[in-house]
Every structure is written in C-alpha cells, then in structure tokens.
C-alpha cells in the first residue's frame, strides 16, 4: 500500500503540475509503478484538453486558436517539462556526433535552433491535428484519451532492454524498470504510428547517446501525442 501511494504521488508530481505530497520513498520499484500509472496520473490533463476542445467547438472561435489554447494548457499542466525534453533532445542530436558533447549540450537547458524548430513543428502538428476533435463531445473525449495514452510512451522508454545514457540524472531511477511485455503493450496502445515514432526515437537516442535520459522521456511523450493525434484525425 505504501509503495502504491508513493508511486501515485511520484507519477502525479512528476507528470503534472497538480500539488501532491512528496513520496516518502523513491526506489526503482516505486519508479516502475509510477511509470505504469502514468496514463492514469494525467487523467485530469486529458479531461482539461477534452473540455477546452468541446467548449471551444460550441463557440465561433477559430478551431486552430482553440487547439493552440489546448496545447498551451496541456503544457502548463505538465510544467512544460516534456517540451524542454524535446528541445534538448533535438539540440543533442544535431550538436555533434560525439556522445559526450551531445549529452553536455542537452544538459545546458538552453534551446538552440534545432530545439526551437522541433518544438514549433511538434506543437504545431498537435494543434493542427486537434482542430479535428472539436466537432463533438465524443471526438473531444477521444483527444483527451489520447493525451493519457501518449504517456504509455514511458513504458517503452523505460523498458528493461533500454539502457540509461548517464550514470546520474533524472532518468536513471526509471530506466530498465518496465518489463518487456508491458513495454510491448505500451507500443500497441500508442497505435502503430505512435509506437513506431517512439521506437525510432529510442533507437536513435541509444545509438547516439548510449541510452536514454529524462529528456528522451519528455520527447517521447510529445512525439507520441503528435503522431497519435494526427493518425486518429486522419482516420
């Protein structure tokens, strides 16, 4: 019971801006459970996105404007940590073919040209795709569900087959904690396109950085969400 409570607090406190008590203990078992709870922990954010899209659809506001507000609200609700990760990963991948140099660039926390471009493209893709979800409450609810399911990307990134790039940092406690069958299930829940996008990212990060970091966690979430929203909008 204590582990579950700590895991829930860890997942909610890490993945959302909702105020929660800090966990009493954070170990790899707690981290694994927190990653498994990730889709449920962000349920309030999914509901927020769904409500914004549905209410926006009832007005005469431009759908794209409503969609950008939803993307912005989601970013605020997660303290924009995932966007910071996406930006850092893009900068790291384009900075150098040297592993240590790339990791150093990612650790600076500043956004370079590649990071800014990646953020604009992915955020723009999410917003453009979300315009298709404001036509009914059912579609708005689907968008909210996809927000939650996109966090299954963490199951893939934290798979026991995926190493950590650093011996320290945020990602170390979480990496190699999720069993392979659960990671495979996560890829399935992300849809074919979302799962492939995360797999490509993880493969690229492992090749270039020697493994994944906390920044890769965030990048995987935002990339998965953009891909899933676009796929279901097309369907």
Over the chain, what is the mean pLDDT?
Answer: 94
pLDDT interval class at 2 (50, 70, 90): confident
pLDDT tens, residue by residue, 143-155: 999 999 999 999 9
In this prediction, residue 3 carries a pLDDT of: 78
CA 161-84-188 angle, 5° bins: 40
Q: Which pTM value belongs to this model?
A: 0.95
Instruction: Please check the confidence at residue 223 and state whether its pLDDT lies above 90.
Output: yes
Can you say how many angstroms the Cα of residue 167 is from the centroid of all Cα atoms in its chain? 22
- Residue 109's pLDDT is 75
Neighbouring-strand partners of residue 234: none
* pLDDT for position 51: 97
Model confidence at 87, in pLDDT bands (50, 70, 90)? very high
pLDDT tens string 157-176:
999 999 999 888 777 899 99
Q: What's the Cα-to-Cα distance from 109 to each of 77, 89, 106, 207, rounded to whole Å?
A: 20, 10, 6, 22
């Amino acid at each position: 019971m204590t582990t579950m409570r700590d895991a829930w607090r860890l997942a909610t406190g890490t993945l959302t801006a909702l105020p929660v008590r800090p966990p009493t203990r954070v170990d790899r078992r707690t981290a694994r459970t927190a990653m498994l709870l990730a889709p449920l922990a962000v349920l309030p954010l999914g509901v927020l996105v769904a409500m914004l899209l549905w209410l926006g659809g009832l007005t005469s506001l431009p759908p794209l404007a409503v969609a950008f507000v939803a993307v912005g609200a989601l970013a605020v609700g997660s303290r924009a940590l995932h966007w910071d990760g996406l930006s850092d990963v893009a900068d790291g991948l384009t900075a150098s073919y040297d592993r240590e140099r790339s990791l150093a660039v990612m650790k600076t926390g500043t956004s370079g040209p590649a990071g800014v471009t990646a953020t604009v493209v992915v955020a723009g893709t999410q917003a453009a795709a979300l315009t298709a979800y404001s036509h009914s409450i059912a579609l708005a609810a689907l968008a909210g569900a996809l927000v939650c399911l996109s966090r299954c990307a963490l199951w893939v990134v934290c798979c026991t087959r995926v190493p950590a790039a650093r011996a320290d940092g945020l990602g170390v406690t979480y990496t190699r904690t999720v069993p392979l069958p659960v990671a495979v299930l996560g890829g399935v829940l992300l849809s074919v396109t979302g799962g492939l996008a995360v797999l490509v990212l993880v493969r690229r990060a492992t090749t270039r950085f020697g493994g994944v970091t906390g920044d890769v966690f965030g990048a995987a979430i935002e990339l998965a969400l953009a891909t899933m929203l676009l796929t279901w909008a097309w369907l």
